[in-house]
Structure 1
């Protein structure tokens, strides 16, 4: 017992000693997270590109484990919460002391510790058997499978992130019948740090290629929710029986009793987002996004991007590009369905709205696409057809459409060949190339290493193939207002 007390005292001292270091390392991240929360409190949350599920207790029911642990502890099933919290506690101790044992090894040690505090004799082998055997065969909670089916049907990408080993969670999913629902299973094995350490969440985000605010973490543990929130993820707390939130942490974006409630909340959020955006002009939505982005980046970064805009503008691209009165450039392009479209055949039947977006990685493009989708009926009723071009690969364009709930099928401007002919293609200024190449992964989106992008241009072309409206701005934060485009279409249709 004396050794156990010394161990607990050492752990407490370690936590106190390292807390200033942890705080120093994460202050900027917490500030960014707070900015994200403040911005999102005024508007609906964006639809997450990926949903990340915790596994034990969130998806899987620990009831069989309770019986097994209770048996190992002379019938004391009431000690299961103490064992679990001790296991989590020492996973944190190992993370902070830069040590690593698997969650199973820590769980076995934690059970032996609990047994010792209760005066119960328990060998290592018996403790391991009591934990590992039932842990691999836990059943899913009653709400889980139907909820996962609904989320998959709604187009969500679903992955898991667990403190358990990779082999362990693979066995768990197979035995629980969950394997088919998950595109990837992430374990802390690869970073050798346990949740809620920031590196565990960042590891999954980096592999998925998404920003924190584009992912939703779902967990039944307050510490997991707090950890994900600290990194900037959207969060959903599942209030399984006996689970409660940590009062000193920010409130999660969603609090639900089970996953069926989460499915309903996400469906409502999708509808609310569309309603909220429809009440604002596109300029207002873009300005809100710009304000949110400004909070996320330091002045030095904002200055580099602002100078990049002016560098592009100084090339006089806005003046040298195709203008009102010029003949439109014809081209044949394909969409992600493999269908070929000839632009001249479209405008011979009536006015065409020709619009470029840079890629699904660009939040301003996504806002513009949603705005045009909301005004699509008005554009078509005015007698025009909306044609969207993008340099991003067809499969990426399809993902962009799914993420933004678009009916619009974009055409692939391969190598920005058509943008080049319209004179709206520019080389990225050298100062911002690393950001676009390494952080935004532009080569992966476009399928080439050319550090080039088109202006977010919008043209209206009449039946004669003449440009009657042109929106050209070197500032990627500014786009053609749908109402102005609709008026231009009406004029071109006369």
Structure 2
């Protein structure tokens, strides 16, 4: 078998309702996932209270019930969230209004204020169901609907309560469906609340955008894989210990503009694809191949198995490994590795002659890895024409890597990253979540491929490293079904070679 000079390396939250974390992210900011722009969502899920409806009348009513002590409102808000989480974790369930009433009585008792249950309930329920929408809401929702987005809501309030709220606020006709945690008897940000909506809508998490003014709500949604948008209502800030939202905007008008830009970008990318170097001959783009493989697997596997793998992805993502791994602008880690024939290769010897594409390959048992490797091999002429080398690392034993290359007709030499030692230095290694260990151990036989019992893997990362050893491109995604597109890698290589 002819070989090229291709080298390698594989390798709850308790947040206050009032949110007083760190300073606001610049309004209108848009982030990426896995180093790539997120696709424009198809469905928008809106939180209700404070996100859409103005709580000013409720605050005034509660302050009056507390004998004018409006300074106690933050304590009341945080007590509501605290005990909604207590009920969720203990398996109990009372409506949000009931918890709000109980929380108000607790605050009053703590501060020596006389307050009856009936008075507390009156102070909350009556104004809560007649809250006005924020000034930007009705026009913003109409603009989003006109742009073709499906719009639903998800609230911690009761189903009856939110229907009354929407009718009084003039929002009832602007929403396709209203969802309440009544259906799952668990409060946001528990994962089951968001998963319930996804199941009802029959969509994947990445197709949905959760819109809220509360950092804790967005943290819960992002944990399940949804895109997120933070509406920076007055007094609301982001929580620094979770990944930033995909959109940060001041109001719905700004959100509509940001989504329109995203949609235009998607359309432009779609028009460019026929001429993009992501394909050789009539070969489909790598992303299309990966999506096709994922769809086929989902159709062939039982629903509970598909859900287990999806859960595993989100558990890994929740570790923030995508943010903590080596990033663009940082210096690459040098290392000496051996090929399957015993040859020794030092990474810095490779990049001192020109850029290298450093790609992690999990193993021959991974069909998504094989698709990516084949796509990169098809693009190798363009990579080398730009003056770069393809370098692939794998924790897979040398004899297994050789068998993989031969079975897939891949013209490569794999460098063995024993026990993922190099991947670990790049911050790419994660422990497999307990829910998926049986599948990787018993079905995929991971210990046999890697020659150890460590149930861990590297992210399927791809870096471009320039002659100085600096990282100029990074694709990092906890979802193993998503990989760097060869066309993007080629562009990054061309830029690094200048």
The TM-score, its normalising length taken from structure 2, stands at 0.51
Q: What is aligned with 1:93? A: 86
Separation of aligned partners in 2, 1:163 and 1:302: 31
Separation of aligned partners in 2, 1:273 and 1:141: 30
Which of 154, 171, 177 is 2:164 aligned to?
A: 171
Q: Verify: 1:181 aligned to 2:143, yes or no.
A: no
Preserved CA contact (<8 Å) 2:32 2:38: no
Separation of aligned partners in 2, 1:183 and 1:114: 37
SS of corresponding position for 1:138: coil
Compute the displacement of 1:301 (Å): 5.2
Q: What is aligned with 1:46? A: 39
Q: What is aligned with 2:140? A: 147
Q: What is aligned with 1:162? A: 155
SS of corresponding position for 1:52: strand
Compute the displacement of 1:39 (Å): 7.7
Q: How does 1:453-492 map to 2 (within 5 A)?
A: none
Q: Verify: 1:198 aligned to 2:191, yes or no.
A: yes
The alpha-carbon distance between structure 1 residues 46 and 64, as it changes in their structure 2 partners (threshold 3 A), is same
Preserved CA contact (<8 Å) 2:31 2:37: no
Preserved CA contact (<8 Å) 1:44 1:273: no
Q: What is aligned with 1:287? A: 286
The alpha-carbon distance between structure 1 residues 75 and 39, as it changes in their structure 2 partners (threshold 3 A), is closer
Compute the displacement of 1:291 (Å): 5.0
Compute the displacement of 1:137 (Å): 0.3
Q: What is aligned with 1:233? A: 226
Preserved CA contact (<8 Å) 1:69 1:77: yes
Compute the displacement of 1:125 (Å): 0.8
Q: How does 1:95-494 map to 2 (within 5 A)?
A: 95-281=88-274, 283-284=278-279, 286-290=285-289
Compute the displacement of 1:226 (Å): 0.4
Preserved CA contact (<8 Å) 2:205 2:226: yes
Separation of aligned partners in 2, 1:122 and 1:224: 30
Compute the displacement of 1:79 (Å): 1.7
Compute the displacement of 1:191 (Å): 0.6
Preserved CA contact (<8 Å) 1:220 1:237: yes
Separation of aligned partners in 2, 1:190 and 1:216: 20
Preserved CA contact (<8 Å) 2:32 2:246: no
Compute the displacement of 1:81 (Å): 2.0
Q: What is aligned with 1:330? A: none
Preserved CA contact (<8 Å) 2:50 2:233: yes
SS of corresponding position for 1:55: coil
The answer to which structure has the higher helix fraction is 1
Compute the displacement of 1:217 (Å): 0.5
* 1:278-326 alpha-carbon deviations (Å, 9 max, x no partner): 44447557303545788x89xx959979xxxxxxxxxxxxxxxxxxxxx
Preserved CA contact (<8 Å) 1:43 1:276: no
SS of corresponding position for 2:125: helix
SS of corresponding position for 2:130: coil
Preserved CA contact (<8 Å) 1:150 1:263: yes
The alpha-carbon distance between structure 1 residues 79 and 249, as it changes in their structure 2 partners (threshold 3 A), is same
SS of corresponding position for 2:36: coil
Which of 45, 50, 53 is 1:60 aligned to?
A: 53
Q: Which runs of 5+ in 1 are unaligned?
A: 1-14, 19-36, 306-476, 478-494
- Rg larger for: 1
The TM-score, its normalising length taken from structure 1, stands at 0.51
The alpha-carbon distance between structure 1 residues 234 and 303, as it changes in their structure 2 partners (threshold 3 A), is closer
Separation of aligned partners in 1, 2:299 and 2:142: 46
Which of 76, 90, 98 is 1:83 aligned to?
A: 76
SS of corresponding position for 2:143: helix
The alpha-carbon distance between structure 1 residues 228 and 274, as it changes in their structure 2 partners (threshold 3 A), is same
The alignment yields a C-alpha RMSD, in angstroms, of 2.8
Q: Give every structure 1 segment of 4 or more consecutive aligned residues whose post-TM-superposition deviation is greater than 4 Å.
A: 281-285, 289-294, 300-305
SS of corresponding position for 1:174: helix
Preserved CA contact (<8 Å) 1:238 1:257: yes
Q: Which runs of 5+ in 2 are unaligned?
A: 1-11, 15-29, 302-481, 483-498
SS of corresponding position for 1:47: coil
Preserved CA contact (<8 Å) 2:138 2:171: yes
Preserved CA contact (<8 Å) 2:45 2:209: yes
Compute the displacement of 1:88 (Å): 1.1
Compute the displacement of 1:49 (Å): 1.7
Preserved CA contact (<8 Å) 1:147 1:260: yes
Higher-RCO chain (CA-CA 8 Å, sequence separation at least 6): 2
